[in-house]
Amino acid sequence: MSARSHVSHVVDQFGSQAAAYVTSAVHAAGADLDRIGALVRGMPGARVLDLGCGGGHVAFAAAAAGAAVTAYDLSDAMLAAVAAEAARRGLERIETRQGAAEAPPFPEASFDAVLTRYSAHHWRDVPAALAQARRVLKPGGLLVVCDIVSPEEPLLDTHLQAVELLRDPSHVRDYRVSEWRAMLEAAGFDPGLPLASRPRMEFASWIARMRTPAVNVAAIRALQASAPAEVTAYFAIEPDGSFLLNSVLIEARPHGEAA
């Protein structure tokens, strides 16, 4: 059996499921999207990059708040679904571009804001992508990162990474908040305090979005069944496999540039 590249995993996993991510209730709403909309409304005439746009929910929120948005993603199929949904909503100020988060093909200082949500845990090189975000951001600009995060405790971290990878072979890592802060600072940003939430993953739809094979579903359920009490309690694992995740939104500005 020949091995496939990480890029191939990402494109295969998300291309065929693009419509599911556009319509996913977990992805389509939340306090983080409300916050992103409020931030963009405070930046009249902003040009925004949605880095790793996925189902386009950040792009839709930013465009509805008045920004001109470039929705950028590795998957052509995902971008086509985003363009179709933008047209359906009458959001004319969204353009789509294809490429990797680590190599955005935009000039320096192109955007007033770079936004990314529920994407970075699929990136092969997050520090490189953050360095590129800093490069394409205008002076005084804003970076907003929102993603699932892992607990700081190794016992809990190991369980989360295991079930994530079994569910989705394109998964790289849910980073800890401490790791996010270190990576942002190394890329030249001053990160603010995280806005935290605990989204519930309904098990059936969580695996359906990724078309997780039955053997992997069984492995996830076996891990949940054999998990220590501390893991079961922390993730609030339910009898049907549903559980809670940790999500954070972090606003960051270039070093020395206050809002």
Strands 137-149 and 246-254: antiparallel
pLDDT of residue 4 exceeding 50, the answer is yes
**Is 177 inside any structural domain?**
yes
What CATH code is carried by the domain that includes residue 66?
3.40.50.150
pLDDT tens-digit map of 14-67: 544 545 544 444 445 478 999 999 999 999 999 999 999 999 999 999 999 999
| Residue at 163 is within a domain | no
Other beta carbons within 10 Å of 65: 19
Expressed as residue numbers, the domain containing 49 is 6-150+171-200+246-254
Q: Rounded to the nearest 5 degrees, what angle is found at the Cα of 135, between the Cα atoms of 259 and 55?
A: 85
Instruction: Report the pLDDT value the prediction gives residue 239, as an integer from 0 to 100.
Output: 98
Cα separations in angstroms, 227 against 61, 224, 241:
38, 5, 12
Strand, coil or helix: 72:
strand
Residue 163 has pLDDT above 70, yes or no: yes
Which amino acid appears at position 96 of this protein? T
What integer pLDDT is reported at residue 23 of this predicted model?
Answer: 47
- Summarised one tens digit per residue, pLDDT across range 109-135 is 999 999 999 999 999 999 999 999 999
Residue 129 lies in a domain: yes
pLDDT single digits (tens) 177-211: 999 999 999 999 999 999 999 999 999 999 998 99
Residue range 81-98, pLDDT digits in tens: 999 999 999 999 999 999
Residues 211-256: pLDDT tens digits? Answer: 999 999 999 999 999 999 999 999 999 999 999 999 999 999 999 7
Could you tell me the pTM of the whole model? Answer: 0.88
Cα 46 from Cα 208, distance rounded (Å): 36
Q: Does residue 239 sit within a domain?
A: no
Residue 235 is assigned to a structural domain of this protein: no
Q: Does residue 218 form part of some domain?
A: no
Give the chain's domain count.
1
d(CA 198, CA 250) in angstroms, rounded, equals 15
Pair 124, 115: CB distance under 8 Å: no
Asked, for residue 123, whether it belongs to a domain, the answer is yes
Q: Which two tokens stand for residue 192?
A: 């603010």
